[in-house]
Amino acid sequence: MATIVYTFTDEAPMLATYSFLPVVTAFAGAAGVDVQTRDISLAGRLLAAFPERLTPEQRVGDALAELGELATTPEANIIKLPNISASVPQLKAAIAELQAKGYDLPDYVDDPQTPDEVAANARYDKVKGSAVNPVLREGNSDRRAPAAVKNYARKHPHSMGAWSPASKTNVATMGHDDFRSNEQSVILPADDVLEIRHVATDGAVTVLKGGLKVLAGEVVDGTFMSAAALDAFLTEQVARAKAEGVLFSVHLKATMMKVSDPIIFGHVVRAFFADVYAAHGAELLAAGHDGTNGLGAVLDGLADLPNGAQIRAAFEAGLANGPRLAMVNSDKGITNLHVPSDVIVDASMPAMIRTSGHMWGPDGLEADTLAVIPDSSYAGVYQAVIDDCRAHGAYDPRTMGSVPNVGLMAQKAEEYGSHDKTFEMTADGRVEVVNAAGEVLMVHDVRAGDIWRACQTKDAPIRDWVKLAVTRARLSDTPAVFWLDPERAHDRNLIGLVEKYLDDHDLSGLDISILSPVQAARLSVERIRAGLDTIGVTGNVLRDYNTDLFPILELGTSAKMLSVVPLMNGGGLFETGAGGSAPKHVQQLVAENYLRWDSLGEFLALAESFRHEAQHGNVAAGILADTLDAATETLLSENKSPARRVGQIDNRGSHFWLATYWARELAAQDADPALAARFADVAAALTTEAEAIDAELIAVQGHPVDIGGYYKPEDAKAEAVMRPSARFTAILAGLA
């Protein structure tokens, strides 16, 4: 029997799973496809990290490690829902919730001192940040808007704010002394073992990372950001935002870049409140309040300081006297600087561009914004799109083209691999990358406070990436552009490899080019306005950024993208979209028993997962795929996706209607009469009971509910909330 693994993750996608998974298992089981689950939620991964501290009943297996092994096999068929990439505040909150539930987990200590604290933090660091994706992504990424979704967006365009030629919104970036400008890159001629070491000015050598195994043909990079240059840049941008009368905002990726970007975030907090840190910095820093975990953590910690009230007043004065801060929630006073994981660049920048280049100010009104993106590696992409909107106005979802993406990410390629190779310098000196023969491959002169990092990209993923780009270009008859910057050392090496590996393929009739990210962005938006598609072939971080940027502009959300990862050893990983708005959805569910989360991404991924099984000989799985796609298109055309307000259809209602349309399609198909007969009664029952089931699902809305936890809900409570229709539950049980 074919087996599909459906992941259990976090927040809104996890809640939706309680409602949708029973539909999946019932329908798939009827066609001979087994659906299993694996818990890779943040809570599940935390518990798996400390089995010796838990009772036998509390222990859970390491599902992520198990799936990582599965992903390297031809049998892999994994549906991966969005999960929390935990920032430190999220990590601490999850630990506290689990401790309150009786799980004997140690605290995460900001400044570990004892051996036990150091050991515990080392385990937690493996859970922190984007820890899931690098394990599962044993293939490169193919993300695109399915025809049904694109057609729906054209017929039902989402709102787009108008752009003014007088808009003062811009991106500010360093352009020098940053990761892009300081990058060095080498291609390893043979298998080797590298060492990263710091050599202080007095000659003292500290090994930052040893035993770093690399393969022949692997691209290894090293770079650093100057702390002094960063501070000078930030000081200039605070003054610029004040002078120009625009909102000040910072856009980082503290979840993916879980070492470097929180450090940078702390620099931003200290620069914005320079007067506060000038007056009280010694006391604040001694207490660990350097802004790395955000302004909110600093303010929360003031109660423990002798003159906390005085310092709080100084922060309030800083807010009043500085430039207006962009807000996450102006009603609650939550600023752009409160929590590092609240404003993630790949979601926040396209949302700003879609909204006239505006963010929300402290007064609750929209305003032009200075978007601060310190590292210049990809900041220019956003500036190019902003310039285009300022010159030509907002995009029109009814006519605009698309920018599907082929992304290099297999085997922890590029920056996703940099976490365990990112270091904040504690002393002046130099950082060297040395091979086993003692030869220095790269060297950087650094000062205390600088942020140094390395990353790796193996040769096999690069070859596979080029192959996938050529395949997609031919299948869709669409121009493909490699977004590679000849001024970046890493990209220069990749350009040489791409040109070499393109020679291995038949390129007749194809339009394939290589442009810098800024040039590629300009070309892509020019073609978008003409209604034309352009495949973006990008590295890992740009894959992450662009597969939010363009879908949010085209479709209103990145959750509606089809995300297929053809695994390099023959299996398939099917991702279901982004989870950036998931926390707000959970808050609304708890307050109003209404879940806005749209499971369209799950529907699309599930169909591709079935189709993958069909390609391996399971005919019934192919029927499930085709009928599910047809049902999804009906769901969109009948406007049965979640609405926005209590009293209207929500996530649970969309699952019911999807099941109804799917059952009708299965009953009507003639490729498998036995399968059609099995679903005939189900389709009839769902249709007959539709009005009553719809009423049951809406009747429960409008009241607070208890799911038993944010990071680890109680199954019984969550199931009761997410499956409130007895009629619907009974019909599914009859099918099973």
- For residue 666, the 8-state DSSP code is H
Q: Which two tokens stand for residue 293?
A: 């975990």
519 phi, psi to nearest 5 deg: -65, -40
Tens of pLDDT, residue by residue over 164-221, are: 999 999 999 999 999 999 999 999 999 999 999 999 999 999 999 999 999 999 999 9
Residue 656's contacts (CB-CB under 8 Å, 6 or more residues apart) are 686, 690, 693, 694, 697, 725, 728
Tell me if residue 547 falls in helix, strand or coil. helix
- The pLDDT value recorded for residue 616 is 87
- Residue 390 in contact with residue 163, Cβ under 8 Å? yes
561 pLDDT exceeds 70? yes
- Secondary structure element (H or E) that encloses residue 198, with its range: strand 192-200
Name the nearest CA neighbour of 449 among 229, 215, 239, 276: 229
Instruction: Specify the range with the lowest mean pLDDT, choosing from 52-61, 85-94, 494-503, 676-685.
Output: 85-94
Using one digit for the tens of pLDDT, what is the confidence trace for 575-591?
Answer: 986 655 577 899 999 99
Instruction: Assess whether pLDDT exceeds 70 at residue 109.
Output: yes
Q: Tell me the average pLDDT across 273-301.
A: 95
Mean pLDDT, rounded, for 484-506: 97
Alpha helices per DSSP H over 478-616: 489-502, 517-529, 540-555, 582-592, 600-614
Torsion-angle region of 625 (φ positive above 0: left; ψ -120 to 50: alpha; else: beta): alpha
* pLDDT, tens digit (0-9, with 9 covering 90-100), for 595-617: 999 999 999 999 999 999 998 88
CA 708 to chain centre: 26
- Helix H segments across 616-725? 619-637, 651-668, 673-688, 690-699, 715-722
- Residue identified by tokens 């349309």 is 661
Is the confidence at residue 560, as pLDDT, over 60? yes
Is the separation of the CB atoms in 450 and 225 below 8 Å? yes
% of residues, the chain, pLDDT over 90: 87
Angle at the Cα of 374 (from 373 to 375), degrees rounded to 5? 100
The whole-angstrom separation of Cα 444 and Cα 183 is 9
Give the burial class of 538: count Cβ atoms within 10 A of its Cβ; 0-12 exposed, 13-18 middle, 19 or more buried: buried
The CB density around residue 380, as the number of other CB atoms within 10 Å, is 22
Tokens of 710: 């944010």
The mean per-residue pLDDT over the stretch 555-560 comes to 83
Name the pLDDT band for 414 (thresholds 50, 70, 90).
confident
* Sole residue written with tokens 């070499």: 500
* CB-count exposure of residue 583 (10 Å: 0-12, 13-18, 19+): middle
> Which pLDDT score, from 0 to 100, does residue 342 have?
87
Say whether pLDDT at 415 is over 70.
Answer: no
pLDDT of amino acid 86: 85
C-alpha distances in angstroms, 518 versus 12, 387, 421, 521?
Answer: 35, 11, 28, 5
Rounded-to-integer distance, Cα 101 and Cα 129, Å: 23
pLDDT at 563: 87
Q: Is residue 416 predicted with pLDDT exceeding 70?
A: no
3-class state of residue 723 by DSSP? coil
The Cα 180–Cα 727 span in angstroms is 58
Whole-number pLDDT of residue 428: 98
Confidence of residue 704 (pLDDT cuts 50, 70, 90): very high
In sign, the C-alpha dihedral spanning 350, 355, 360, 366 is: positive
Spatial distance between the Cα atoms of 337 and 242, rounded to a whole number of angstroms: 16
The whole-number average pLDDT for the span 723-734 is: 96
Does 1 score more than 80 pLDDT? no
H/E element, 231:
helix 227-244
Burial class (CB in 10 A: 0-12, 13-18, 19+), 309: exposed
CA-to-CA distance for 659 and 17, rounded, in angstroms? 14
* pLDDT exceeds cutoff 70 at 68: yes
Dihedral of alpha carbons 61, 63, 68, 69, sign: positive
366-394: average pLDDT: 98
Q: What is the pLDDT of residue 701?
A: 97
The CA distance from 635 to 202, in Å, is 68
Is residue 65's pLDDT more than 90? yes
Structural contact between residues 588 and 594, judged by C-beta atoms closer than 8 angstroms: yes
pTM metric for this prediction: 0.85
CB 223 within 8 A of CB 450: no
pLDDT tens profile 419-430: 789 999 999 999
Strand intervals (E) in 201-280: 205-214, 219-225, 247-250
Tens digit of each residue's pLDDT (9 = 90 or more) over 641-675: 999 889 999 999 999 999 999 999 999 999 999 99
Q: What stretch of H or E contains 120?
A: helix 115-125
- How large is the average pLDDT for residues 140-166? 90
> pLDDT (tens digit, 9 = 90+) per residue, 351-369?
999 999 999 999 999 999 9
pLDDT band for position 417 (50/70/90)? low
Give SS3 for 433.
strand
Residues sharing a CB contact under 8 Å with residue 350, sequence separation 6 or more, in sequence order: 548, 549, 550, 552, 553
* Average pLDDT over the chain, rounded to an integer: 94
Residues 275-300, mean pLDDT to the nearest whole number: 94
